[in-house]
Amino acid sequence: MPSSIYLSAAHKSSGKTVVSLGLCAAFKARTLKVQTFKKGPDYIDPIWLAQASGNPCYNLDFYTMSENEISELFHQQQSDIAIIEGNKGLYDGMSTTGGDANADMAKLLDANVVLVIDSNGITRGVAPLLMGYQTFDADVNIVGVILNKVAGERHESKLVQAIEHYTDIRVLGAIRRSKELIIDERHLGLMPANELTQSQQFINSAGKIIADQVDLDKILSLGGEKKSVNTPVSVIASSNLTISVAKDQAFGFYYQDDLDIFKSLGVRIKYFDTLKASELPKCDGLFIGGGFPEMQLESLSDNQSLLDDIKLKIEQGMPTYAECGGLMYLSREITHQGKSHKMVGVIQANTVMTSKPIGRGYVQLEPCNEHPWENVAGKIYAHEFHYSKLKNINPKTRYAYKVLRGVGVDNKRDGILTHNLLATYTHLRSVGGNRWVEQFVNFVRKNKL
């Protein structure tokens, strides 16, 4: 049977992602099919995990998804081993009493937990830490530990002796401190792999280190059984629609299952590079997701022909949806570190980057009467991550959403509307009652040029 392990930790920044990447690369090198998942609303780690495993990474999120949706998405993906990377610590979540933590996700998926422990400054104390994590919730099956950032053989020996004397948890590996296992970070987490030319080199190096310092065979033998399910054959509707999607070093924040839904509806996706393309591909609609456009401002601004073409097409009525970085790109300009760069200019507002987060976390929206799509959910559960805000907004600007929780554009509203464009700071996910992909596709079909 296929196996699954849930990689978690005692706290964030323990090295879960680097260990996950190394395991993916090491198992892939053995010609195993590796399927990755990430708990929570995260774009950056999944980009890395997809590159390391060679397969798309899927997000599992209690806030936006039902338990049935989580289980179905998880079990539909076939593989030799599934690796679920948690966020924060094993028992960390929004609720004080649990229900949405990594531990709850592991129980829902019947996945055995492997803890990645940051070993800096700890020896015998690792034992009561692990004992506490075991007894806190007896239904969570913690089967192994990977010691990370180990100083040397003597340090490793003390840790292993303490764990073996006081607990029944298996030590699956001890990873030495190494500069080779450090990825640069930015305000939303790790530097995205799509921005780093050396990302594959880092993954390959991590894979070799993990293969040498972690017992891969032992991990394969203890992984919880992953149910093999017969995935129903999806009937692809023939829509004869083409939607252009920005995907490059500036824009790369897309949920794989959302992209899968576009394809299941018969929509042809054409990716384009905002840094290099002189014009949009021939298409019926446009989708610009999130990312870090502020890191590519000069190149984006210098590509005047594409800026002009996007502005013209949207003003002519091309159905368009943009999220966060996409919204910023469509504004008049983006100001970062005191320098302003001209952008598309179809949104009558200026974007200003900030040193602290403006909106960061889960969001709840209520659609306004002016929302242009049909069959929109009465309440939408989503999320936002932005270190920017809009200034000099046209006072006549129309909005698609009332913000019940979160920040959006101005703490009250989100979803700027102009022509056939809907641009939000909120990141939507096509799950539950919020089937935004189908709604947007129907809108494109009705309004294509």
Lowest mean pLDDT among 169-183, 204-218, 420-434: 169-183
Is residue 396 included in any domain, yes or no? yes
Q: Say if residue 210 is in the same domain as residue 291.
A: no
For residue 188, the model assigns a pLDDT of 41
Q: Say if residue 352 is in the same domain as residue 418.
A: yes
Q: Say if residue 167 is in the same domain as residue 300.
A: no
For residue 39, give the CATH number of its domain. Answer: 3.40.50.300
Token code pair at residue 398: 């129309």
**Which whole number is the average pLDDT over 30-43?**
96
Whether residue 31 is predicted with pLDDT greater than 80 in this model: the reply is yes
Q: Which comes out higher in pLDDT, residue 209 or 187?
A: 209
What is the CB neighbour count within 10 angstroms for residue 96? 6
Whether residue 230 is predicted with pLDDT greater than 60 in this model: the reply is no
Is residue 234 included in any domain, yes or no? no
Domain that holds residue 56: 3-225
Q: Which of 199, 225, 251 is the last residue of a domain?
A: 225
Q: Say if residue 247 is in the same domain as residue 390.
A: yes
Parallel/antiparallel/unpaired status of strands 388-391 and 350-353: antiparallel
**Which whole number is the average pLDDT over 3-17?**
92
Is residue 230 included in any domain, yes or no? no
Whether residue 235 is predicted with pLDDT greater than 80 in this model: the reply is no
Q: Which of 225, 257, 285 is the last residue of a domain?
A: 225
For residue 449, the model assigns a pLDDT of 85
pLDDT tens for residues 55-69? 999 999 999 999 999
Is residue 237 included in any domain, yes or no? no
Q: Say if residue 257 is in the same domain as residue 215.
A: no
User: What's the chain's average pLDDT?
Assistant: 93
Quickly state the pLDDT bin for 191 (edges 50, 70, 90). low
- C-alpha span between 135 and 186 (Å, rounded): 35
Quickly state the pLDDT bin for 184 (edges 50, 70, 90). low
Q: Say if residue 212 is in the same domain as residue 253.
A: no
Q: Say if residue 315 is in the same domain as residue 207.
A: no
pLDDT tens for residues 330-384? 999 999 999 999 999 999 999 999 999 999 999 999 999 999 999 999 999 999 9
Is residue 135 included in any domain, yes or no? yes
pLDDT tens for residues 73-125? 999 999 999 999 999 999 999 999 999 999 999 999 999 999 999 999 999 99
Is residue 413 included in any domain, yes or no? yes
**Which whole number is the average pLDDT over 40-60?**
95
Is residue 231 included in any domain, yes or no? no
Is residue 236 included in any domain, yes or no? no
Quickly state the pLDDT bin for 196 (edges 50, 70, 90). low
Do residues 117 and 10 make contact, with C-beta atoms less than 8 angstroms apart? yes
Q: Say if residue 162 is in the same domain as residue 264.
A: no
Q: Say if residue 168 is in the same domain as residue 276.
A: no
Whether residue 237 is predicted with pLDDT greater than 60 in this model: the reply is no
For residue 3, the model assigns a pLDDT of 81
- For the chain, the domain total comes to 2
- pTM of the entire structure? 0.92
Lowest mean pLDDT among 66-70, 179-183, 336-340, 442-446: 179-183
Q: Say if residue 179 is in the same domain as residue 259.
A: no
Name the percent of the chain lying above pLDDT 70: 93
From 24, 57, 283, 324, the catalytic residue: 324
368 classed as catalytic: no
Whether residue 203 is predicted with pLDDT greater than 90 in this model: the reply is yes
For residue 232, the model assigns a pLDDT of 47
- C-alpha span between 210 and 175 (Å, rounded): 7
For residue 1, the model assigns a pLDDT of 46
Quickly state the pLDDT bin for 195 (edges 50, 70, 90). low
Q: Which of 190, 225, 260 is the last residue of a domain?
A: 225
Whether residue 190 is predicted with pLDDT greater than 60 in this model: the reply is no
Angle at 58 between CA 56 and CA 62, to 5 degrees: 175
For residue 385, give the CATH number of its domain. Answer: 3.40.50.880
Q: Say if residue 358 is in the same domain as residue 411.
A: yes
Quickly state the pLDDT bin for 409 (edges 50, 70, 90). very high
Q: Say if residue 204 is in the same domain as residue 314.
A: no
